[in-house]
Homo-oligomer: A and B are copies of this chain.
């Protein structure tokens, strides 16, 4: 069968194992049909090529080829199931700003943060906080553990945690509901 596009990274120079990073590609030529396909696949990542073909008015092979090109161009970096965090026992979400001290290498901090399994997102930011993380944990004690672990990282001066009371929406693409 065909190789699954999401499981392996093809770009050199990325951090290990992370399927999606918006690093390199600035430009790709995407016409109206491609945009339509992207919107359809963002709304339903398991839509069959035949179904997509019906919606955009092309044949299934044509759609298959276009999607394949979007994948190999790095526009589509993978496909994922969206899982309700609460349903799998991750009831607490928090945003944590990490203030890094001046003279320590970023790579070490990044590797240490990456080793924490509950850090879902990691952004390098301008401003007082060098990094902002989104973490999801089972409960408040687990959040405390994560905060403690972050503060033990060499090069982390301080953290500032904002607990998420409720998620209004997440991962919305374009359309205003």
Which residues of A line the B interface, CB within 8 A?
Answer: 1, 4-7, 15-28, 30, 35, 38, 41-48, 51, 73-89, 91, 93, 95, 110, 114-117, 119-127, 129, 131-132, 162-177
A44–B164 contact, CB under 8 A? no
Instruction: Work out how many copies of this chain go into the complex.
Output: 2
Given A20-B170, A117-B175, A167-B21, residue A81 in contact with residue B76 (CB < 8 A)? yes
CA distance A83 to B6 in the complex (A): 11
| Complex interface: chain B residues within 8 A of A74 (CB) | 84, 87
Cα A160 to Cα B164 in complex, Å, equals 17
Which 3 pairs across A and B sit closest by C-beta, in order of nearness?
A45-B79, A41-B81, A122-B168
Chain B positions within 8 Å of A89 at CB level: 27
